Amino acid sequence: MSIKIKILRELEKRPLSLRQLKEKLGNDRRAAGEVGALLGQGRLVKREGLLYLAAPARKGPRAARLAVIDPQKPPVGALACTVVKLGRTFGFAQRQDGQGDIFLPGRSMRGAMPGDEVLVKLFEHPRVPGTQEGEVLAVTTPKEEFVGAVRRSEQGRLVFVPDACPTLEIPLKKSALAGAKEGDKAVARVIRGESHGAHQAAITLHFGSADQASQCVQALLYAQGVEETFPPEVRREAAALKGARVEADQVKGRMDLRALPIFTIDSASTKDIDDALSITENADGFELGVHIADVSHYVQPGTALDKEALRRATSVYYADRVAPMLPKELSNGICSLNPGENRLAFSCLMLLDKKGQVKDYRFAKTLIHSRVKGVYSELNALYEGSEDEALKAKYAPVASQLPALQKLYQLRAEARRARGGMEIESGESQLILNEAGVCVDVRPHERGLTEAIIEECMLLANQCAANLARTRHLPFVYRVHEKPDAEHKERLFGVLKACGIEPAFAGETPTPKELSAILDSVRGQPLERAVHTGILRGMEKAKYDPQPKGHFGLALADYAHFTSPIRRYPDLAIHRILSAWLEGESPELLTKLYEDFAQQVSQQASSQEIKAQKVERGAEDCYKAEYMRGHLGEVFEGVISGVTAHGLYVQLPSTVEGLVHASHLCQGQPVLVEGVRFADPLTGASWSMGDTMKVQVVKADVALGKVDFIPAP
């Protein structure tokens, strides 16, 4: 048997690294060369260090439909849309002109799938007056691949179930399984079929078992185009910085702050440390320094490092791993503000009065030397009065700064409350994984005093950066959060009324201070989750923008992201702009140089942020479902956290959330009140957001990240 056949047979069983493959083949020296040849021929795919079988691209009727209608010359009345949802008997397409969604009856979809770009013709007489309803004329650009799972149908044949439409089972071509087997998480291409019932799929890539969260997360990363590894040219540039140190010629013209007792505060596992602090209290108030890694010094425009960082735009954190924006040679090395090392920084140096208000600030390129790598939990213990002598010894070099830091935070927290900055409880989770990468516990994320202190210091530096850009008329990338529009206001008012809160706002649009007062009034109450969620959903989403539109949620006129250039490209971008300004470039020249750049970064970063959030939330859901698989049949008490037509969502103290389906609650059609109350008209039973409820775990689908409950017996 040839070495090629041996390689293909081994990879049919499961993906392997080259080292594992060579071990399987008795360390045959020919393996590496043959693998390289198969990769070049497109018969293998390498991802995250593993080798996979790749199915060849196939053309069929689905691809042929591209020629049915020329998208550049659409029929009169045809609307360019993107399919965004597919149910069992219907779908929705989003108009590309931004004029809302169109309902598509199943018989009118022509086999269109989520992500397909289509041309849609509206019905002249929709069944529901005032709505948009139509039919697909043609699929102009089909989505190439779908992530899902290989299942076995009731008829006993293997089918592919896309994550985007879990009610759809697409038969798999027997000769195009690419080694995938029942229960695998996989990627597939729809290769034929003018209707959903006639579709057939071919596997192009497969991961491991869909019952393992770690494999499902790899599929999530693939679906969103998020990569943990870097292209060769990026790795080559990064390798040149491996083990780099600050050299004498790099510090020329910089402000030397090494004499200051500067320190960092992060979680114990953090390796990419991009911010540090220094503070002094005096008779006039405080001198606060926020010192940020000078990533722009090392990531220059036009380099492969810069292009890849812009493409990624953000690091993606999930469970105990990260898909970084920058290679570790930078993020964990020369750009990380590690203790005991000289580092290049970009510092925001602020003077604050006795009330904690900023009187003046300046930005400077600096040289710093962190004294201590602080840890949130350790500093929280010190602030709580811990007598641990080892902790006291560790923080002795910066101990004199800790009281001033706490005092300033208390002043700033009071100022935030006074202006109406909102503090919405997000219910963050902490996932505990074992050595095998399996989720063995889920806990609420605890946020202590030190976390709040760091957040407030970063807010101050971010405000100053945005204020400088706005007042000097510099091209910039702002972090903006606009006030609620009419649709969001209507939704917000409905939720508040359903919760028994009569909105009494002074103006047509509620102010941040008015909403903040409502948030505080229900904190710790049964309706806290309902009100906090309702207000969150009743606001616009924050995004990046080249215009200074302010931040509604924080109640700030000036805001940007300056403090995390290792993991966010907007921060790196504005470091580059501010560096040029510090060098004396005029606002007019900076506008010519960076206006288009700021627009590009704003769009790219906002788009990539949404993808990152999908991965992070999806990964968390998968790991939570994996954890709950070990608790099937057990009974828990939780709080009703969501009310929908199809049932109640119940959140457990661990933060795990599951669905109690309507069929287990009522005999008739449920009655909903503004999404906060659910009632059975036949029995009179009702449930509301915030109510406690005992539930039993009956199902945990790791692949979809869903947990099902029933009322406890």
Q: What type of residue is 330?
A: L
- Reported as a pLDDT band with limits 50, 70 and 90, residue 426 is low
- Reported as a pLDDT band with limits 50, 70 and 90, residue 14 is low
Q: What is the pLDDT of residue 75?
A: 73
Residue 66 has pLDDT above 50, yes or no: no
Residues 6+ apart with CB under 8 A from 521: none
Please report how many Cα atoms fall inside a 13 Å half-sphere around the Cα of residue 627, on the Cβ side.
Answer: 24
Q: What is the mean pLDDT of the chain?
A: 89
Q: What is the pLDDT of residue 198?
A: 85
Please give the span between the terminal C-alpha atoms of the chain, in angstroms, as a whole number. 60
For residue 255, report the phi and psi dihedrals to the nearest 5 degrees: -80, 125
539-594 per-position pLDDT tens digit: 889 999 999 999 999 999 999 999 999 999 999 999 999 999 999 999 999 999 99
Residue 505 has pLDDT above 60, yes or no: yes
259-270 per-position pLDDT tens digit: 999 999 999 989
- How far is it, in rounded angstroms, from Cα 285 to Cα 580? 31
Lowest mean pLDDT, pick from 130-139, 188-197, 465-474, 602-611: 188-197
Kindly report the pTM of this predicted structure. 0.85
Q: What is the pLDDT of residue 61?
A: 44
Strands 372-375 and 263-266: parallel
636-678 per-position pLDDT tens digit: 999 988 888 889 999 999 999 999 999 999 887 888 876 678 8
Q: What is the pLDDT of residue 44?
A: 81
* Mean local confidence (pLDDT), 149-167: 92
**Between residues 395 and 642, which one has the greater pLDDT?**
395
Q: Which of 280, 290, 270, 278 lies closest to 345 in space, CA to CA?
A: 290
Reported for 482-488, long-range contacts at CB under 8 A and 24+ positions apart, including other chains, are 482/540, 482/549, 482/550, 482/552, 483/509, 483/540, 483/552, 484/509, 484/510, 484/538, 484/539, 484/540, 484/552, 485/540, 488/537, 488/538, 488/539, 488/540
Strands 671-673 and 677-679: antiparallel
**Between residues 500 and 622, which one has the greater pLDDT?**
622
SS3 691: coil
**Between residues 57 and 565, which one has the greater pLDDT?**
565
* Mean local confidence (pLDDT), 236-240: 96
- Reported as a pLDDT band with limits 50, 70 and 90, residue 58 is very low
Q: Which residues pair with 661 in a beta bridge?
A: 647
Q: Are 587 and 472 in contact (CB under 8 A)?
A: yes
Q: Are 519 and 499 in contact (CB under 8 A)?
A: no
318-372 per-position pLDDT tens digit: 988 999 999 999 999 999 999 999 999 999 999 999 999 999 999 999 999 999 9
Residues 6+ apart with CB under 8 A from 252: none
